[in-house]
Amino acid sequence: MNQGPLDRSRFEAIESYVLGSMGPDERARFEEELTVDASLRAEVDLQRENIRAVELGGLTRMLKTISEEQGTGEEGWRANAWKQRMKYAAVIALVLSVSLWLLRPPANERLFAQHFVADPGLPVAMSATDDHTFQDAMVAFKLGDHAEARSKWLPLLQADPNNDTLRYYIANASLALHEPAPAIPFLESLARDPSSAFMKKAQWYLFLAYVDAGDVAKARAVPLDDDATYGERVRAIKGQLD
Amino acid sequence: MRALYSTHLPAVKRYVLQNGGTGNDAQDMFQEAMTVLWMSVKEGRLVPDTDPGGFLYRVAKNKWLDVVRSAAHRHMKVVHDDRALDHGTDVVDDIEERIVRLRDVYDKLDDKCRKVLDQFYFERKDLATIAEGMGVEEESIRTIKYRCMMKLRAFRKAISGEDRNEA
C-alpha cells in the first residue's frame, strides 16, 4: 500500500470502481491499470475493506432498530408501568396520526408502495463458476439487499448487454430501492420484446415504475387493463391516479 | 431484513429460552447470526442453496452454547446440544473474526463521520440527498466523506505499520 496521501480524485475513482458505479470505458481503463500497479490494487483492497466496515456499522444499527421495533418479548411489563404508558398512548397515537397524515407521501408513491412487491427471484443452485457472481447477487436480492445485488449484476450486464434476465432483475432491484429512473429503460425494452420470458412481468413493473415516477400519462398508456393476471390491479390503480 | 427477523427469530428464541437464556439474550444471538449471514453473502461465501433460516438458527445456537459454556454460565444444563453434528463451520469462524476486525475499524469513526458514511455506503443515498437531509451543501458532504475515509485509511496504515514492527 502507498504510505503517502491519496488525493480526492484518485480516492473517488477507486470508490466508484468498488461500488460498481464506474462507466464501462473507465472501468476497462482502470482494470488495465490494476493489472500493472500493485499499489493501486492494495488501495482498492483497502477501500473495499473500509467500505465493508462502514456497511457493517450500518447493518448493526439497522438490526438494533428492528429489534427495538419488535420488542424483546420479555415478561417485563409491570402492571403499573403498563397503566402509566396507556395514559399517554391515546395522545401519542393522535399526534402520530396527524403527523403521518401531514407527512404522507404523494398519492403516486403511496400507490407504488401499496402494490409493489419485488420479484421472488430465481432458484439459486450449484452451477458453473461463470454463474457464481450472478448467484451471489441473487442470494443478496432474495435477502432484500437490492443495492448489493444490483452492484454485482451491473458489471455482468456490461459483458452481456442483451441478457434479458440481468436487465429484468437489475430493473427490479432499482424499483425495490425506489429508483424508477434507472429501471424504466430496461423495462421499456423488455415490455415490448415478445421473445423475452419476462415481457408480461416487465409490463407490470414498467407500469409501477411510471406510477412511482409520477408519469401518469405513460402509466395510463400501459396496455394491461384486460390482462388476466394484472388487469384488476392496473384498473384499480389507474382509477386512483391524479 | 425485517421479514427474516420476524420469520426466524422465534425458533432461536425458543432454543435460548429452553437453555437458560432470556428474550434479550435471544435477540443478541439472533442479531449476531444475522450479521454473519449478511457478511457471508457480501463476501460470496454462502454455499449456494443454503437455507437462511437454518443458517441463522445454527449460528445463533452455537453462539448461545459458547455463552452457556463461559464461566458465568457453567452451572447451566444444556437441554439440546447437537453442536458436534452441526458446527463444522470454519467459514463462519473466519467470518466472525472478520466482523470483529471490521467493527474495530468502524469504532474509530466519530458520530459525524458515521452519519455521513452510513448514508452513503450502507443506505446508498446520493450526496445531494444526504446534503439536503443534513441541511448543508453537497460539496461539504463530499469533503466530509473523503476526510472520514482518509481517517480510516490512516488507521489501517498505522495498524499495518504495527504489524510490520511486530514481525
Q: Enumerate the residues of chain B whose CB falls inside 8 A of the CB of residue A62.
A: 1, 122
Same-domain pairing of A80 and A174: no
Instruction: Tell me the nearest-neighbour CA distance from B8 into chain A, angstroms.
Output: 13
Q: Which residues of B, range 118-137, sit inside 8 Å of A by Cβ?
A: 118, 121-124
> Is A117 found in the same domain as A56?
no
Last residue of a domain, one of A84, A105, A126: A105
Residue A86 cell numbers, joined: 396507556
> Residue A23 falls within a domain, yes or no?
yes
Look at residue B75 and tell me whether its pLDDT is greater than 50.
yes
Same-domain status, A178 and A219:
yes
d(CA A12, CA A26): 13
Question: B3 versus A99: which is more confidently predicted?
Answer: B3
From A5, A50, A69, residue closest to B156, measured CB to CB: A50
How does pLDDT run across A176-234, given as a tens digit for each residue?
988 899 999 999 999 999 898 899 999 999 999 999 888 888 999 998 898 888 898 89
Q: Does A55 map to a domain?
A: yes
Quote the CA–CA distance of B129 and B141 in Å, as a whole number: 10
Q: Quick one: A28 and A63 in the same domain?
A: yes
Q: Do B41 and A143 touch (CB under 8 A)?
A: yes
CB contact under 8 A, B42 and A52: yes
What pLDDT does A57 receive? Answer: 93
Distance CA B12, CA A202 (A): 38
- Stretch (H or E) spanning B10: helix B2-18
Answer yes or no: is pLDDT of B106 > 70. yes
Model confidence band, residue B160 (pLDDT cutoffs 50, 70, 90) = low
Among A50-59, A119-128, B50-59, B78-87, name the most confident range. A50-59
Type of residue found at B117: L
Per-residue pLDDT tens digits for A67-90:
887 765 454 434 444 555 665 676
- Look at residue A1 and tell me if it is in a domain: no
Q: Smallest Cα–Cα separation from B124: which of A149, A31, A135, A166? A: A149
| pLDDT tens readout for residues B10-37 | 999 998 888 888 888 899 999 999 999 9
Q: pLDDT band for B85, please (50, 70, 90 cuts).
A: very low
Residue A2: inside a domain: no
The pTM assigned to this predicted structure is: 0.56
Which of A92-101, A140-149, B63-72 shows the lowest mean pLDDT across its residues?
Answer: A92-101
Q: Which residue is closest to A13 within chain B, CA to CA?
A: B146
User: Is pLDDT at A149 greater than 50 in this prediction?
Assistant: yes
**Would you call A55 and B114 a contact, using CB atoms and an 8 Å cutoff?**
no
Same domain, A216 and A163: yes
Report yes or no on A126 lying in a domain: yes
Residues of B in contact with A137 (CB under 8 A): none
| Residue A79 structural domain | 75-105
3-state secondary structure of B90: helix
Does A3 map to a domain?
no
* Structural domain contains residue A153: yes
A121 and A209 together in one domain: yes
Calpha distance A199→A190 (Å, rounded): 5
Same domain flag for A158 and A177: yes
pLDDT at B80: 54
Give the separation between CA B36 and CA B17, rounded to whole angstroms. 22
Q: Are residues A91 and A209 in the same domain?
A: no
Q: What is the pLDDT of residues B53-70, one digit of tens each?
A: 888 999 999 999 888 887
A88 and A150 share one domain: no
d(CA A146, CA B117): 18
What domain count does chain A have?
3
CA distance B118 to chain A (A): 5
The CATH number of the domain holding residue A197 is: 1.25.40.10
For residues A204 and A224, the answer to whether their CB atoms sit within 8 Å is yes
Alpha helices (H) along chain A = 8-19, 24-36, 38-70, 79-103, 107-115, 132-142, 146-159, 164-176, 180-191, 199-213, 216-221, 231-240
Task: With beta carbons under 8 A apart, name residues in chain A contacting B38.
Answer: 59, 143, 145
Report how far apart, in Å, the C-alpha atoms of B2 and of each of B8, B34, B84, B147 are.
10, 11, 31, 33
- A183 and A124 in a common domain: yes
| Residues A234, A194 within the same domain | yes
Q: State whether A234 and A131 are in the same domain.
A: yes
Q: Is residue A38 part of a domain?
A: yes
